[in-house]
Amino acid sequence: MRSVTMATVLALAAACGNTGPDEGGSNADVLTSLAKSVVPVRASRDAGSTPAAARSPEQAAAEALRVNPGPLIQAGFEGLGRSQIMAMTGQNGAIRTYMTPAEEALILRDGMLVGTRGLGRDLSVAEPGTDRLIRAVQAGSGSRVMRYLSGDGLERPLQFACTTAPGPNPGVIVESCEGHGTTFQNNYLVQGGQIPVSRQWIGPGLGYVTIQTLRP
């Protein structure tokens, strides 16, 4: 089952590898400032430490499943160039918080990214108006609001116009969004209304994260 899921992860990543944020948006002041100010927190914490032996994502996943009995995800941060195993540290209804030992966190609602913590200029909260269409694997349109903290410490809501359409593989739905001089594309594998595998845009600088459920 895991090999099939990993193949789907690669397919999702390849499906929209050339659809990152538009660097030329002259009216995307908030997004531009966010992109310039993102600092990989993990890198600064690890500075000066002795590097551990490199492990493949598959080896890291197998070890995490062996030692941790709870829900786990594997997150590949494209903007940071690394993959992390994250364990669930809290749940409130359908919303789960997954965290690394370095206190970097993804907040998911039934597999859909709704926030991040500890990664730099975080996504405070996402409000996807396309949620119902995505879980039903249906074509349609809706808005998406992404809230970020700007340099002055205030939360800035940015609204994007989005459309959904079936993806290249069965069960995959593609959400294409644009606004503020930026375009991005989220890909979701949907099974029974849940999202076990996805590639979702966090924001400028951090870019995309590919999320795979290792243990529900």
pLDDT digits (tens, 9 = 90+) for 111-159: 999 999 999 879 999 999 999 999 999 999 999 999 998 777 788 999 9
Q: Is 205 left (phi over 0), alpha (psi -120 to 50) or beta?
A: left
Which domains does the chain possess? 2-215 (2.40.360.10)
CB 162 within 8 A of CB 176: yes
The torsion angles phi and psi of 50, rounded to 5 degrees, stand at -75, 125
Nearest-5° angle of CA 199, CA 94, CA 129? 60
pLDDT digits (tens, 9 = 90+) for 54-110: 677 788 888 888 888 899 999 999 989 999 999 999 999 999 999 999 999 999 999
Q: By 3-state DSSP, what share of the chain in percent is helix, strand and coil, each rounded to 5?
A: 20, 45, 35
How would you classify the pairing of strands 140-149 and 105-109? unpaired
Tokens of 183: 């375009």
